[in-house]
Structure 1
């Protein structure tokens, strides 16, 4: 996933909510997860989510729950997600790789390359223009509560 800003989360939710109902179904959420290499059944996902669909706030809490690793298994899941974005397997996520995967997932909306570089720059601690696994992990562990507050105001 790209650095998940409030705007990015909003864009992802809107892309998933194909019928503009304000809800995303388990099937829509499952398609997103499968697109990034996380295989789960709809039954497992519904059990995890606790309902058959999510509104925007529920989606934010779901994201927060899966984005923050809590143990070694979660770290391994993050490693697998990193490998989805590290298309060439060199141990880094470039702007081109990020854009390619987000496009494949239907989450890249004709942005310029500069936008992609700006997204990477937010988490690029050593300023090499790439994300290594630790930088990716920091990005994925980013907290979401401010997005909940911002969305409720709008």
Structure 2
């Protein structure tokens, strides 16, 4: 899969906010992603499953471009990527895209602002239940199923009880999840 310098910079800038600082949280996140991509729960992610998952996230990629890269991580006589193979592919992509050339300032505040923007789809400075539900749906998470469940998620972090999450509430919530590694 060929990626030009401009695409690499865009990918780095847009994705760096999702790199967690704690290795144990990264492992949990990666396992969750693997499980979401493994649609038939057979313990493998096929090229087709990965292509479909990327497409649902709005990252349409030509399967013929993906196939050689992904297949290079699949062990002989296996039908797809096992979790260990997926983790190795992830590490390689992470090193390729983020090793020393990230254009962000690296601060946690900046990372949180970028993450907040992903959820604040209309740019009004707040995350509504509908916006949260839209992002959860794009990620294929079952929590997105019923708006009442999503509203409960909002209420759980809405400290000023206005029915939506502002940046400070989002930041407080994320700081309990993102634990810097030492």
Normalising by structure 2, what TM-score? Answer: 0.44
**Residue in 2 that maps onto 1:92:** 126
* 2:173 pairs with 1:139: yes
Task: Give the distance between the partners of 1:110 and 1:88, measured in 2 at CA.
Answer: 18
The answer on whether the counterparts of 2:34 and 2:86 sit within 8 Å (CA) in structure 1 is no
**Residue in 1 that maps onto 2:164:** 130
Note closer, same or farther for the CA distance 1:78–1:22 as it changes in structure 2 (3 Å cut): farther
Q: 1:4-42 CA deviation, whole Å, 9 max, x = no partner?
A: xxxxx79766313445355889xx6xx77xx499xxxx9
Task: Give the distance between the partners of 1:93 and 1:52, measured in 2 at CA.
Answer: 35
**Residue in 2 that maps onto 1:120:** 154
Task: Give the distance between the partners of 1:144 and 1:91, measured in 2 at CA.
Answer: 21
Normalising by structure 1, what TM-score? Answer: 0.51
Note closer, same or farther for the CA distance 1:15–1:74 as it changes in structure 2 (3 Å cut): same
Deviation of the 1:101 alpha carbon:
1.4
Structure 2 regions of 5+ residues with no counterpart? 1-17, 19-28, 60-68, 70-83, 88-104
Q: 1:36-91 CA deviation, whole Å, 9 max, x = no partner?
A: 99xxxx9xxxxxxxx7545xxxxxxxxxxxxxxxx962211111110111011110
**Runs of 4+ that moved beyond 6 A:** none
The answer on whether the counterparts of 1:94 and 1:131 sit within 8 Å (CA) in structure 2 is yes
* 2:95 pairs with 1:74: no
Aligned length: 106
Compare relative contact order (CA 8 Å, sep 6+) and give the higher one, 1 or 2.
1
The answer on whether the counterparts of 1:85 and 1:93 sit within 8 Å (CA) in structure 2 is yes
Note closer, same or farther for the CA distance 1:142–1:13 as it changes in structure 2 (3 Å cut): farther
**Residue in 2 that maps onto 1:61:** none
Task: Give the distance between the partners of 2:37 and 2:148, measured in 1 at CA.
Answer: 25
Structure 1 regions of 5+ residues with no counterpart? 2-8, 43-50, 55-70, 146-154
Deviation of the 1:107 alpha carbon:
1.9
Highest CA radius of gyration, 1 or 2? 2
Task: Give the distance between the partners of 1:89 and 1:75, measured in 2 at CA.
Answer: 18
Deviation of the 1:144 alpha carbon:
8.2
Task: Give the distance between the partners of 1:126 and 1:21, measured in 2 at CA.
Answer: 44
